[in-house]
Amino acid sequence: MEWQLGFLTIRAYGVMIALGLLAGTLLAASEARRRGLSPSLVWDAVPWLTIGGIVGARLWHILTPPASMRAYGITTEYYLTHPLEALAIWKGGLGLPGVVIGGALALWLYTRRQGLDYRVWLDLVAPALPLGQAIGRWGNYFNQELYGRPTDLPWKIFIDPAHRLPGYENVAYYHPLFAYEMVWNLLNMAALLYIARRWARRLLPGDLFLMYLAIYGFGRFWLEFLRLDISPVAGLNVNQTLMLAVTLGAAVTLVLRHRRAARLAAEDRDDDTAARPPRRRKKRKKK
């Protein structure tokens, strides 16, 4: 879906991405205010994160094009030999894993430049990420992409013949995979906001971002089983494999860093106890 305003073409996909970015920024600014930080720093970071996210998303697509595009010769090698096509993001082709990777790198550069704690800012944007993703996923609805396997469930969606994958030309209804991911992202956001308030004193800097990775990766791993247009590399679904690695890596890192923190706290208590002088017991007077 698109609208023509003179020489300018406005696509629904781009509008949803922009709305997702705006909503995520507003939530991150609200979280910054709650933590006693300046919301203006969040708005200043937006250009950095936008550029980093777009570059990362496009690179991820170039390196892992889906099977439907490879069937027409659109491969990594094709993009490398056609650099103008690699830059044509208006034709579609953005990978969400690349958004997170590119955005995280851009945030590191921004916090380093501003002298801010990178881990604290990762936690700050953690709930904003799934909110932005949830809204942005509706762009897939307007593009009639990221749908799942054929289904007859009541919430099935109709896909126009022009947008059906090879081998499914005669199949009309599919799982709304983008909507499933949208719901999962909203649950992820709600869980992170609750945890940030309920267990604030027990969290270490960077915990919320690790939880975001673990929750998102877990859901995305299972949703990939419904996806038709996978990105195969060496016979593996690269997105699903990455999500499994991210989920396990984030979960293990969370456990290990809290065990280490608990061990260091116990050692500090032992040192304090050993450093204290022994208490003298008062003698009782005999009556």
Encode pLDDT of 53-64 as tens digits.
Answer: 989 988 888 888
Residue among 28, 49, 45 nearest 100 (CA) = 49
Instruction: Note the pLDDT of residue 91.
Output: 65
pLDDT, mean over the chain: 87
Residue 161 CA to residue 170 CA, distance in Å, equals 8
Q: Are 211 and 219 in contact (CB under 8 A)?
A: no
Taking Cα atoms as reference points, which of 205, 207, 195 lies closest to residue 251? 207
Considering the entire predicted model, what is its pTM?
0.86
Lowest-pLDDT range of 65-79, 107-121, 253-267: 65-79
C-alpha to C-alpha distance for 150 and 156, rounded to whole angstroms: 8
d(CA 207, CA 251): 10
Given a cut of 70, whether residue 167 has pLDDT beyond it is yes
Mean pLDDT of 214-224: 94
Predicted pLDDT of residue 273: 66
Q: Rounded CA gap, 63 and 76, in Å?
A: 5
With 60 as the cut, is the pLDDT of residue 1 above it? yes
Structure tokens given for 58: 């496009």
Rounded Cα distance between 197 and 48, Å, is: 28
pLDDT at 221 over 90: yes
Q: pLDDT at residue 28 above 70?
A: yes
- Angstrom distance (rounded) from CA 219 to CA 244: 10
pLDDT in tens, 77-116: 888 888 887 777 766 677 778 888 999 999 999 999 999 9
